[in-house]
Structure 1
Amino acid sequence: MSRSRLVSGVEVVAVPGRGLAVRTTDGEFLSVRTGDADGDALLSVLTGAGPTPATEEVNRLVRAFEKVGYVAGETRLAQWPADRRDVRLLGDPVLTRPLAAHLAALGAEARTAPAVTTPEGAPVRIEDLLDGDPAAVVWCLDGPVPEGLWEAADRLPEHGVAWLRCHREGWQAYVEPLAATPGDVTAAHVRARRLAATPAHRELAAYWRGPRTSGAPVRLTVPAAALLAALLADDLGRWATGTTDTAGFPARRRLRHVDLRTLTVTEHPVLPVPAATPTPEKDG
């Protein structure tokens, strides 16, 4: 059976009158100067189609493909490791249901709970989040984050538990960076960075605190919920399998903004807030 040696996403096409061209993983086309090499022999080697003898010219071109990362040895999809399979999902079912389905398809074992139950007015405790010894905790909110709700969860990486979250503010949703080790970006860091980045920091802080007067409620559509769940599952899968990010910002330093009206995703780099840096003051 033929086995392609080209890396996933790279393709070679024969262009009438112009020879061979490579379509890269970014969707760009690059011409291949084959010189005296036999184009069919080159394609045979690149696709692993059979024992076609390769000339020195063909081997030179294959080495050039290898040098720029278009050719690799046999690769297999990374499997979800057993010690990271236990993922606890908290929050709103409109998001946790599709996320659980994505994670199951990837090989994880998702445990879904609507919320961490605490006495009214009492903060969530880190002991409640660590109950059952999960490898990761994902918290999905179909609305803004109440003040202090994620304070304990921000300490999960200190206990060796990955921490991932998303929430909605009107027609905008935010998928925050995955935090896996102490020093990674927490929810408090994202909150502080967002306040510092906008001239409307007083208004944003007031919006988070509430109360908020709204018109007709925003309803997450099935495609919008599926998109948010897919983004979360992809970030979690990359952490679990150690898969490298090949485009955009690293998952642990990336804040995604999703326009729920158009399903447009925008990435923003975000860094941890140094301990000595004061959080922007909020009006009382």
Structure 2
Amino acid sequence: MTHSGAAAPAAPDPFFGHLEVRVETLKPGTALFTGPSGAALRDAAGELFAVALSDEAIGGVRAALTGADAPAPAELSAFDHAGHLGGRAGWPVGRRTVAVLAERSADLVDALRRAGANPVVPRAGAGLAEVLELGPAAVCAWHDGPAPDRWRELDALADHGIGWQRISREGRHVLLEPIGVPHRDVRARRLAAAGSGHRHLRAYWAGENAVRGDETPDPAEFLLVAALAVKDLARWAADVPVAGNSLTPGAIPAHRRLRVLDLDTGALADHPVLPVPASAP
């Protein structure tokens, strides 16, 4: 109460007050709609909520979100505070150059371009020095068969701050290796997980005297592989954090995840993979 008898100004609302709305658009995947008992919201993770605001307040929020020529209401700050506002993240300019190492590179190159990257293709069989000369932010390697030994040489890309993504195929399974774990470590972890079958896995990788069925991905499967690979690389480039939700409660960041795609069913299996600690001398 003031001595002049004038009413004291209301204290700022701890939820709505002092929040600056940066982007007046709903985050992709979010929807504000009319539910059975008033306004409702589906968030980007797929969760559904009732929105406890008056019809007048909701009208103001809708107007602001649809670009109507009206001042943004204070209630819009609540949506921002809850993480429901924001636009699509573009490919960061400083990480747009991606070198593609693949016998069949067209699908990867096209997918990278569509996602906003600048793909470059070194000559076939290019080594570490030649790849470094291109100045890439990341390298995406695809091999239509078990991972080649030369990938271990390219593990040195990480020492230069370059993202190192590998995709290979074993039978009808495509393996998307974690960008943040060297290939040699993924190989070592897989051999350890194979237990007594590690000798068979080594022999399969060597491929000596192998008779194979019809394994090669068809054009549609190549597109699927390219899309998954570019999605992982785009999230790495933008440094997008992984948040678990009801759909993916155990989500693993792409830089620590080995993803296996079954080409016959489209099923995905994700496995956490950590770097192998350096051995003591």
TM-score grouping bracket, smaller chain normalisation: 0.7 to 0.9
State the distance in 1 between where 2:145 and 2:131 align.
Answer: 21
Report the count of equivalent residues: 252
Deviation at 1:225, TM superposition (A): 0.9
Larger deviation, residues 242-251 vs 5-14: 242-251
The answer as to 2:191 corresponding to 1:195 is yes
Q: Could you say which residue in structure 1 is the equivalent of 2:90?
A: 78
Superposed, which structure 2 residues align to 1:127-142 within 5 Å?
127-142=129-144
1:10–1:190 CA distance, 2 compared to 1 (3 A): same
Question: Which protein shows a greater Rg?
Answer: 2
Point out where structure 1 has 5 or more consecutive residues left out of the alignment: 118-124, 180-184, 279-284
Normalising to structure 2: TM-score of the pair? 0.78
State the distance in 2 between where 1:128 and 1:52 align.
Answer: 55
Q: Could you say which residue in structure 2 is the equivalent of 1:67?
A: 81
Q: Could you say which residue in structure 2 is the equivalent of 1:161?
A: 162
Superposed, which structure 2 residues align to 1:37-116 within 5 Å?
38-51=57-70, 54=73, 59=74, 61-72=75-86, 75=87, 77-81=89-93, 83-93=94-104, 96-113=105-122, 115-116=124-125
Partner residue of 2:47 out of 25, 28, 47: 28
Deviation at 1:232, TM superposition (A): 1.8
Deviation at 1:207, TM superposition (A): 1.2
1:32–1:86 CA distance, 2 compared to 1 (3 A): closer
State the distance in 2 between where 1:277 and 1:221 align.
Answer: 46
Counterpart of 1:173, as a letter, is: V
State the distance in 1 between where 2:131 and 2:64 align.
Answer: 53
Matched-pair contact (CA < 8 Å) for 2:61–2:72: no
Deviation at 1:239, TM superposition (A): 3.2
Q: Encode CA deviations 1:19-71: one digit per residue, 9 max, x unaligned.
A: 111111122221222368644334334444332684xxxx3x53432332113
Deviation at 1:271, TM superposition (A): 0.9
Indicate the RMSD between aligned Cα atoms, in angstroms: 2.8
State the distance in 2 between where 1:238 and 1:4 align.
Answer: 23
Q: Encode CA deviations 1:71-111: one digit per residue, 9 max, x unaligned.
A: 34xx4642441x43332211221xx2111001222333322
Point out where structure 2 has 5 or more consecutive residues left out of the alignment: 1-22, 245-250
State the distance in 1 between where 2:77 and 2:97 align.
Answer: 42
State the distance in 2 between where 1:35 and 1:106 align.
Answer: 40
Q: Could you say which residue in structure 2 is the equivalent of 1:173?
A: 174
State the distance in 2 between where 1:36 and 1:217 align.
Answer: 61
Structure 1 moving runs of 4+ over 6 Å = none
Deviation at 1:222, TM superposition (A): 1.7
Report the 3-state secondary structure (helix = DSSP H, G, I; strand = E; otherwise coil) of the residue aligned with 1:217: coil
Matched-pair contact (CA < 8 Å) for 1:91–1:114: no
State the distance in 2 between where 1:206 and 1:21 align.
Answer: 57
